[in-house]
Structure 1
Amino acid sequence: MTETQFQTESRTFSWVTPGQADLSRLLELDGLQQLEAMRDGELPHPPIMDTLGFTDLRPERGRVVVEMPAAEFHYNPLGGVHGGVISTLLDTAAACAVHTTLAVGELYTSVDLTVKFLRPVTVDSGLLTCEGTVIQRGRRTALAQAQLTDGAGRLVAHATSTCLIMRAGE
């Protein structure tokens, strides 16, 4: 069979080029204020949110909730949401929870992400909700976790992440 014999779908989206925003404004805000400004449209959100189709970002100090409906364009060859997509949701929630704890002038980067997949995810799973929380925040590192639930409220995946905290310019 040639590729032209298969039914195809398409998807179009746009984003703001990273670095186009006023970075000095970003660095005047603490981490929670940065995410709130992104949520409120005062600053652009990361392109990955558009790429994967995130529909909600709800930050508060030490906690973030992100949502995304499971869609066919997330699928792996076997007809389930790709583990990388699930991992990206978990990484986003855990790391953004750490992001909410940053002081003005602080940055972070993920050091690791450990994921446990608990059940299959398909379009029938509905709206995926991922809650990230900070477990421990130190001066140089933070430990966070994230839990991903499906539209029925069932836990489908869990992750822990370590983030390295640093000052801008280090």
Structure 2
Amino acid sequence: MTQTQRPAHEFETESRTFSWATPGQGDLAKLVELDGLGQLHAMRDGLMPPPPIMATLGFTDLRAERGRVVVEMPAAEFHYNPLGGVHGGVIATMLDTGAGCAVHSTLAVGELYTSVDLTVKFLRPVTVDSGLLTCEGTVIQRGRRTALAQAQLTDGAGRLVAHATSTCLIMRPGE
């Protein structure tokens, strides 16, 4: 070790503890009878657990209507990359959640979806000073087999910090 290096145990550290509900809990028989918007509302109402990624990243809100979803998360230091900004992967995950859940809100009973692609444009730096991050996802076009959605991420001051588009594949049981 050179004189300019410090052992890792000498750096100040912080910790974070979180918990999540194991996926697949709740009254699954009733949940599979719901359309996509109903499933998102079941998460909101506590009838179905939210996906663990929401706890992992610290999402604080999810609001859904058909074809539109809003998710929120305060920017935090545990989101940081080595250069002191929110990691692009965290931003991309928020955008993927917004776009994907917007498509989810359009699903008929029994339909499923998966993301085919996600194209992200990072427009400005995001730090803890950015405050509450709000992602709005909307469906641009919904077909029988595919859907195109977009998501916009704004900071606490309402400035656009990132944008994404996503194509999703719509599947039916047995496919």
Shorter-chain TM-score: what band?
A: over 0.9
1:40 lines up with 2:26 in the alignment = no
Deviates more, 1:49-58 or 1:22-31: 22-31
SS of structure 2 residue aligned to 1:119: coil
2:104 is matched with: 99
Pick one of 39, 59, 66 that aligns with 1:61: 66
1:148-167 aligned at under 5 Å gives the runs 148-167=153-172
Identity fraction in percent: 86
Offset, 1:27: 1.3
Query: Counterpart in 1 of 2:143?
Result: 138
Larger radius of gyration: 2
Within the candidate set 53, 76, 79, 1:71 is matched to: 76
**Count of aligned positions:** 170
Distance 2:131 2:30 in 1: 37
Structure 2 residue 15 is the aligned partner of structure 1 residue 28: no
- With normalisation by structure 1, the TM-score equals 0.98
Matched residue, 2:120: 115
Write the distance in 1 (CA, Å) between the matches of 2:34 and 2:136. 23
Question: Can you give the 5+ residue segments of structure 1 that lack an aligned partner in the other structure?
Answer: none
Matching residue of 2:3? none
Once structures 1 and 2 are overlaid, which stretch shifts more, 114-123 or 7-16?
Answer: 7-16
CA distance in 1, matches of 2:135, 2:17: 24
SS at match of 1:49: helix
Unaligned residue ranges in structure 2 (runs of 5+): 1-5
Q: State the secondary structure of the residue aligned to 1:144.
A: strand
SS in 1 for 2:39: helix
User: CA 1:43–1:20 in structure 2 vs 1: closer, same or farther (change >3 Å)?
Assistant: closer
Return the offset for 1:42.
1.1
Tell me if the contact between 2:26 and 2:47 (Cα under 8 Å) persists in the aligned partners: no
Query: Runs of 4 or more off by more than 6 Å in structure 1?
Result: none
RMSD, aligned CA: 0.8
